[in-house]
């Protein structure tokens, strides 16, 4: 199996494997990251890890506002660590025929 850092890289690997005659997913499974629109539309739909993009953006804005609201004041800011849960979107590129 191949796990790629992003979907564009995974789609490039998929294309190269196809050109080399390697069957996906029968010979090799591929998983990408980001779940871009093209992942589902590939010749072999790509399994991918989907990030909660809207939640990430809202949380980033919230954290930034917290930081800037304290500028110029005597108040201190406690940094927070936020962990968001990604989702595995399973498609054909990782499902071998039975």
Q: Which of 73, 71, 4, 61 is nearest to 82 (CA)?
A: 61
DSSP classification of residue 48: E
Q: Where are the domains of the chain?
A: 2-94
Give one DSSP letter per residue of 50-93, joined into a string. EP-HHHHHHHHHHHHHHHHHTTTSS------------EEE--GG
Residue 90 has pLDDT above 80, yes or no: yes
Joined tokens for residue 23? 């069957």
Model confidence, pTM = 0.81
Question: CATH: 3.55.50.30, 3.40.50.2300, 3.30.56.10, 3.20.20.70. Which one for 2-94?
Answer: 3.40.50.2300
12 pLDDT exceeds 90? yes
Beta bridge partners, 2, equal 30
Over residues 27-77, the pLDDT tens digits come to: 999 999 999 999 999 999 999 999 999 999 999 999 888 888 877 777 777
Work out the number of other CB atoms within 10 angstroms of the CB of residue 81.
4
């Amino acid at each position: 199996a191949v796990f790629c850092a992003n979907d564009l890289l995974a789609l490039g690997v998929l294309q190269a494997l196809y050109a080399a005659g390697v069957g996906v997913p029968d010979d090799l499974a591929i998983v990408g990251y980001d779940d871009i629109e093209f992942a589902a539309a590939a010749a072999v739909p790509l399994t991918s890890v989907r990030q909660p993009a809207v939640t990430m953006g809202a949380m980033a804005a919230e954290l930034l506002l917290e930081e800037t609201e304290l500028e110029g004041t005597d108040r201190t800011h406690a940094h927070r660590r936020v962990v968001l849960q990604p989702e595995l979107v399973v498609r054909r590129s990782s499902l071998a025929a039975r």
